[in-house]
Amino acid sequence: MAASDPHEEFDTVLVLDFGAQYAQVIARRVRDAHVYSEIVAPDIPVAELAQRRPAGIILSGGPKSVYSEGAPRVDPALFSLGVPVLGICYGQQLMAQALGGEVARTGAGEFGKTAFRADAGSLLLRDQPAEQTVWMSHNDTVVRAPDGFRVVGSTPGTPVAAFEDPERGLFGVQYHPEVTHTPHGQEVLKAFLGATCARPSWTAYSVIEASVAAVRDQIGAGRAVCGLSGGVDSAVAAALVERAIGERLTCVFVDHGLLRHGEAEQVEEAFGRHSAAHLVTVKAADRFLDKLAGVDDPETKRKIIGTEFVRTFEDAAADAAGDDGHATFLVQGTLYPDVIESGHGTAAVIKSHHNVGGLPQDMTFALVEPLRWLFKDEVRRVGEELGLPEDIVWRQPFPGPGLAVRIIGEVTRERLDLLRAADRIVGEELRRAGLEREIWQAFAVLPAIRSVGVQGDERTYGHPVILRAVTSEDAMTADFARIDWDVLEGIAGRVINEVPGINRMAYDITSKPPGTIEWE
């Protein structure tokens, strides 16, 4: 039975992604206003757009010039659908070009924080300060608005930094209202949403109701197994499915030997306290490590682990059998960023998440993914609404392939033991400093190199460890955490002194983009 999409009952704003760095952030900001938003390909036919009946459409930014060869275009018919449209950066330029305005490279490109003057009579910029700061990132500029549009904002280098035609529901801004560097950006998006008349019904409660109904519709009278990892995603997915089908759900916790220190025991204890579903624990460290022996390519590692997960669930499915037969559905905590980063829609493949791009083609389960359209912070809100405990809801994200993608190169027991010990100390010290909730994700990485050191007046040739800690709202973008030097010194001192074989620690100060949060 095919899964129904629980979001279909919500008013929707579609984001046409023209290759923007911030397309996912646009969707997130719209959802912050309690309106469902989804990212679609820029070349989606206008007829298909009309069929989907969106409440509004947003044209994202992008890296191209509207005049460059092969640059994405927009069908002018889109602006005649009677649907409000907001163009952002490249999207504004496309709108201007398609409707008879003029775009040019004036030599006055703007990047970063820029002084902006807003017109008080604007629908899009109403009740905002006349003088404010916005975030710019452009070389081309709209130098003449299309006929019928009114210019409502400017900067010293961009005379047409915002324009609008409220009667047709068409709006454009050269700057990026979706980023936090534009202080009044969310007000811009809310004003646009007001023009769409979209109902603000995208809430944790409504998501739960829609998801439970969709799961019931998909599974029917069947049985399901859920791949429980101990993280918030799989826990919330399990809670939603349990609410939908009750005792016909069996949760399978696979201890694949790639977990953090004490994690298996924590998962079993927490699950026993807060779920009535049946739990099957499979000890499979030998099985996974045998398959990973000699493998150093990160994509291959992910696919091996994804395949072994499914094979393990297939082996455990008999435990979920009842009078109505074996489980034929597999529940996973797949999130919207997982889908996007695995090459969904217009996005390039950044990494094949084991539960998106790493599943075997011949598996016997039908997938149930109740969180597939949610961002991480939305999942946390759903978890709180479901009554899950704080220690589960606010647990830091942990990748499905576990420590295997935090070990660069081959995964061995020795390297797992080293990384697990170092990672435990990282967690302990950040909790001691009161930073666990402030930091989105923090962990140790073991690279495939050795480093010269001196310990006890003797030369060492040990393993370096890299500390990765980031702040984020949804994992689509992230910044490295500004951890106090004394805390960093304490972490490094303990790791080097307490974990034999490690003689150096480095701190990763790369943001996302250009890096990813995980190293592999």
Instruction: Give 276's pLDDT tier (boundaries 50, 70, 90).
Output: low
Q: C-alpha distances in angstroms, 289 versus 23, 282, 325, 396, 411? A: 38, 14, 32, 25, 7
Domain residue ranges of the chain, discontinuous segments joined by +: 11-196, 204-393, 412-507
- Tell me the backbone φ, ψ of residue 202, rounded to 5 degrees: -85, 85
Cβ(281)–Cβ(256) below 8 Å? no
pLDDT at residue 366, rounded to an integer: 86
Q: What is the dihedral of CA 181, 182, 183, 187, to 10 degrees?
A: -140
- Domain 412-507 listed as CATH 3.20.20.10: no
Of 3-17, 377-391, 417-431, 474-488, give the lowest mean pLDDT range: 3-17
Summarize pLDDT for 26-57 with one digit per residue, the tens.
999 999 999 999 999 888 999 999 999 999 99
* Cα(506)–Cα(177) distance, integer angstroms: 35
Give the per-residue pLDDT at 252.
Answer: 86
Q: Residues 374-398: what's their mean pLDDT? A: 87
Q: What is the pLDDT of residue 274?
A: 65
Dihedral sign for Cα 198, 204, 210, 215, please: positive
Strand 102-118 to strand 502-507: parallel, antiparallel, or no bridges (unpaired)?
unpaired
User: How large is the average pLDDT for residues 419-423?
Assistant: 96
Cα–Cα dist 212/266, whole Å: 27
How far apart are alpha carbons 307 and 297 in whole angstroms? 16
Secondary structure in 3-state letters for 346-359: CCCECCCCCCCCCC
Q: Is a pLDDT exceeding 50 seen at residue 137?
A: yes
Q: Is 448 exposed, middle or buried (0-12, 13-18, 19+ CB in 10 A)?
A: exposed
Question: Would you please indicate which residues are annotated as catalytic (active-site) residues?
Answer: 89, 176, 178
Across the range 436-446, mean pLDDT stands at 91
pLDDT above 50 (res 348) = no
Q: What integer pLDDT is reported at residue 266 of this predicted model?
A: 79
354-366 tens-digit pLDDT: 444 455 666 777 8
Q: Is the pLDDT of residue 345 over 60?
A: no
Q: What was the pLDDT predicted at 357?
A: 44
Residue showing tokens 């030998």? 286
Task: Inform me whether the pLDDT recorded for 225 exceeds 90.
Answer: no
502-507-513-516 Cα dihedral, nearest 10 degrees: 20
- Helices 204-219 and 376-385 cross at an angle (nearest 10°) of 90
The model's pLDDT over 56-69, given as tens digits with 9 standing for 90+, comes to: 999 998 888 888 88
**More confidently predicted of 158 and 456:** 158
The tokens of 275 are what? 């779920």
pLDDT value at position 355? 47
Rounded Cα gap, residues 20 and 38, in angstroms:
14
pLDDT value for 318: 65
Question: The whole model's pTM is what?
Answer: 0.77
Q: How confident is the model at residue 3, as a pLDDT?
A: 46
Return the CATH fold of 11-196: Rossmann fold (3.40.50)
When the pLDDT of each residue in the chain is averaged and rounded to a whole number, the result is 86
Reply yes or no on whether the pLDDT at 149 is more than 90.
yes
Tokens representing 409 are: 């190169």
Would 11-196 and 204-393 be classified into the same CATH topology?
yes
Helix (H, G, I), strand (E, B) or coil at 154: strand
pLDDT for res 324: 58
Torsion region of 209: left, alpha or beta (phi above 0 gives left; psi -120 to 50 gives alpha) = alpha
Cα end-to-end distance, the chain, whole Å: 35
Q: Give residue 124's region: left, alpha or beta (phi > 0; psi -120 to 50).
A: alpha
Task: Identify the architecture of domain 204-393 in CATH.
Answer: 3-Layer(aba) Sandwich (3.40)
Residues 6+ apart with CB under 8 A from 434: none
pLDDT at 406 over 80: yes
Using CA atoms, how far apart are residues 58 and 74, in angstroms rounded to an integer?
A: 12
* Window from 107-116, 182-191, 490-499 with minimum mean pLDDT: 107-116
